[in-house]
Structure 1
C-alpha cells in the first residue's frame, strides 16, 4: 500500500460515519470516497414502473465495490473526454482518492464567497452541457455536486448507474431538471430561462420543448400545490418541485432547431 493510500485508510478510520473525507498529504489536499452501496428505494422503482416518466427513472442497485468501480472509471473516462472533473489519484477495493477541486458551488453561494452568482450558474450549465455533448449523463446533477476553484467549475459524484435500456436523452433531461430543481430546493435565485437557453445553445437537444411540455402537463398540480392544504401535506422536495414547475410554466423558452 502506498503512502497516500495509508493516509486515506487512516482518514476513513478516523471518520467511520462519513463516506467522503478530506485529507492533507505533504501540503496537498485530497478527497477520499469510501465504497458504498447505491440504488433507488423500492417506492421509487414502483413509481417508475407505474408512471414510466423519465424524471422517475430509478438508479440501479449496486454493491459497494460495483458503485466504486462505476464512479471511478466514469471519472477517468470523462476526464479523457475533456469534461471538467477531478482527477482520480488511485483506486482500490474499498475507496478511491480524488484531487481537490474546490468547494461546492452551493456552499460558495451560501457563504457569500461568490460575487457573480448568475455567472457561476452559467459555468455549471456549461459543464453539464459539455458532459451531454460528449454523450454522457451525470445522474446526480444537483448544484451541490459541482465545485468551483480558481474560476473553473467541476462536476463530481457520479455513483448513480441506470439500466442500459433507458434512453440517454431521458437521463440527460433528468439531469437538466434535477439541476433546476436543486436551485429551487435551495432557493438559489436564478434566471431559469437564460440557463435553459444556454443549455439549448450548447447542446441543440431540444430540451426546452420538453421542459415546456412538462410544465404544461403538471400546471394544474403546480397550482394546486400552493393551496394551504397541500402545503401542509407535501414534503419539502415536493413543494420545491411544484414551485419549479410553476416557474417554468411562466417562462417563454426559446426552442433551438
Structure 2
C-alpha cells in the first residue's frame, strides 16, 4: 500500500518515494487527458464484458455435463483433459494459436484452402480476432473453472434428486429444479467477484494474441500501462492507472454485491 504514494509524485527511481517531489493529482489529470487511455479503458470493459457473457457460463454448463457422465474412468479422463489448458503459459498458447489460425500458414486455413474456401483472417481482422480471443479464453479457462462448480454440485442433497425422480422428473428437469438452485449461491458469489474485475485484465492474453492489425480491440489497460508507464519509465503513470483500476473495481464489487443480495439474497458479504 505504501507504493500507492508514487501515483501522487513525480517519481524518480534514484530519489525513491521519500525524495521524489509531490505533484498531487497532476498525474491523474495527465492520464485522463490521454486519448489512448480512454481507448484502452473501453477495450478493457468490452473484452471483460464479452468474457463475462461467454466464459462465465461455460464452466457451469461443463460441470453439469460432467456430473451427468456415468462412466467413472471416462469422467476422470475428460476432467483431466479439460484441466490441462489452464496449466499452459499464455506464451505457449499464443504460439499454438498462430500455428493453428495464421492466415497463410495456419492449419485451419490450409484445410479451408483444400476445401476451396477462402482463408479467414482469425488474427488480423479485428472482429474475427475478437471471436478467436473469446474462444481461446473459454478453451483455456472453462475446464479449470468446473472444479468449484463440481464441488458445489457434490454438496447438493442427494435426497432431493431421489424425490424429483419419484415425482417423474427427467434429467433436464432435475438439473433445472435441483442442481441449479443448489449451486446458485456459488454462482452468485463468483459472478459478483467477476463483475468486480471488469476493469482489471491480465497482461499476457491480449499482449500475446494481439498485434498491430487488431490494435483497436487488443490495446487494453494492462498493455497501456506497460507501454506508457513501464517502457518509458513513467512509474507514476503506471501506479496511478493501477490505483484507478482498484478504485473502480471496489465500486463495481460493492454495487454488484448489493444488487445480488437484493435479487437473490446471496452475496459475497
In terms of fraction of residues, the more helix-rich structure is 2
Q: Same fold (TM over 0.5)?
A: no
Larger radius of gyration: 2
Larger RCO: Structure 1 or Structure 2 (Cα < 8 Å, ≥ 6 residues apart)?
Answer: 2
Per the normalisation by structure 2, the TM-score is 0.23
In terms of fraction of residues, the more strand-rich structure is 1
